[in-house]
Structure 1
Amino acid sequence: MTRRLSRCLSIAKKIGDRRVDKVLCAIFEREERAYMDAEKNYNEMVEEVEARREYRHGLIVELMKIERDFVLDECLAVLRAAEQEDFAEISRLIMMGHSAALRAGEKGRIARKLRKLA
């Protein structure tokens, strides 16, 4: 590798091998791990939002049992809107986790192909 490839050289020093296929394999394995960690983080965030939504839904059910007046109706409307926002956030996090899993799979396939070359 030439001096112009300073980033590749730094990775080559870390893994102890200057062959291009080994360096590329290390890069793709690192990216695969990063995307797998991101997917795990998204799944944890989904669980946290789901717990918050369930708690809020319990409050809504309890408030609906009480006699209704204007203030209570306004509070219920705010809680229902927040619950809908939680649903939207959950769906967004699920989509982001799915796309991270797809990218991790893609990087893993490339890394496996590079390992077969060596």
Structure 2
Amino acid sequence: MARKFPKCLKIAHQIGDRRVEKVLCTSFEREQRAYEDAEKMYTEMLEEVEARREYRHGLIVELMKLENDYVLDECLGVLRAAEQEDFAEISRLIQMSHAAVLRAGEKRRMVTKLKKLK
């Protein structure tokens, strides 16, 4: 591998193999693992937000059973707005998790193709 490719040379030195397909395969495998880790992280965050939303929804249901007054109505409004924000956060995390899975699959296909070259 020529000296003009310092990043490829760095990976080649780390894996102990200078073949281009090996270097590319290693690079794609690292990216695949990173996207899979990101997907796991998004899933964990999604579970936390969902638990928070369920708890908040339980509070809203209990407060709705009480007598209505101005302060209580204001608190309910704040809780409902926070619940809507949680729904938006859940939606965003689902989209990001899905995108990470798609990217990991794309990298996995590239790794498979490169391994067939060997």
Same fold (TM over 0.5): yes
- Give the Cα–Cα distance (whole angstroms) in 1 for the partners of residues 65 and 18 of structure 2: 70
For 1:20 and 1:88, locate their aligned partners in 2 and report how far apart those are by CA, in whole Å: 44
Residue of structure 1 in register with 2:66 after alignment: 66
> Deviation at 1:106?
0.2
Q: Is 1:83 paired with 2:83?
A: yes
Shift of 1:4: 1.2
User: Is residue 36 of structure 1 aligned with residue 36 of structure 2?
Assistant: yes
In the alignment, the residues of structure 2 paired with residue 38 and residue 113 of structure 1 have an alpha-carbon distance, to the nearest angstrom, of 23
Structure-2 separation of matches of 1:48 and 1:99: 20
Offset at residue 53 of structure 1 (A): 0.3
Matched to 2:4, the amino acid is: R
> Identity, % of aligned pairs?
75
Q: Which runs of 4+ in 1 moved over 4 A?
A: none
Q: 1:51 — aligned with what?
A: 51
Amino acid at match of 1:65: K
Deviations 1:17-48 (A, max 9, x none): 00000000000000000000000000000000
Aligned position for 1:18: 18
Q: Distance in 2 between matches of 1:115 and 1:64?
A: 61
* TM-score, length basis structure 2: 0.99
Separation in structure 2 between the aligned mates of residue 2 and residue 88 of structure 1, nearest angstrom: 49
Structure 1 counterpart of 2:98: 98
Give TM-score, length-normalised by structure 1. 0.99
| Residue segments in structure 2 that go unaligned for 5+ positions in a row | none
Give the corresponding residue for 1:116: 116
Structure 1 CA distance for aligned equivalents of residues 21 and 55 of structure 2: 51
TM superposition shift of 1:80: 0.3
